[in-house]
Amino acid sequence: MPVATYRLVALDCPDPRALAGFYQAVLGGEVRRGSDRWYELHVPGGARIAFQRAADHRPPEWPGGDHDSQQAHLDFEVDDIDRAQEKLLALGAAPLDLDDRGGERDFRVYADPAGHPFCLCRA
């Protein structure tokens, strides 16, 4: 028997409303405000992502350093990775690892507008 039930993933950021809007444009769903410091995105299918204001937020450095630690990241599955990438870049995502293997890879890593890494993965 499990100890707990999954609730949500929460991301610290400087502007929770804006970051919730970014992920809403990526995944769809409904943004709900809990307070000035807390917004939640309820995505189709029932999952939730929360965004919490952190005045001193510093995004992870990836790639970089000796360990290339992302600390934590989100994975999103897409049918057409090139088309999805175009849309993400237009929304304000930044590529973190587009290299000479580009189209051959099964995933690509990006940063959201607050600097959190996330991946597009081929379906």
Residue 104 has pLDDT above 70, yes or no: no
Residues of the chain with CATH 3.10.180.10: 59-123
**Separation of alpha carbons 53 and 16, rounded Å:** 6
Place of tokens 């049918």: 79
Fold topology of 59-123 = 2,3-Dihydroxybiphenyl 1,2-Dioxygenase; domain 1 (3.10.180)
Does 98 score more than 70 pLDDT? no
Q: 1-56 — its CATH code?
A: 3.30.720.120
Tell me how long the chain is.
123
Is it the case that residue 32 has pLDDT exceeding 90?
yes
CATH 3.30.720.120 in the chain, residue ranges? 1-56
On whether the pTM is more than 0.75, the answer is yes
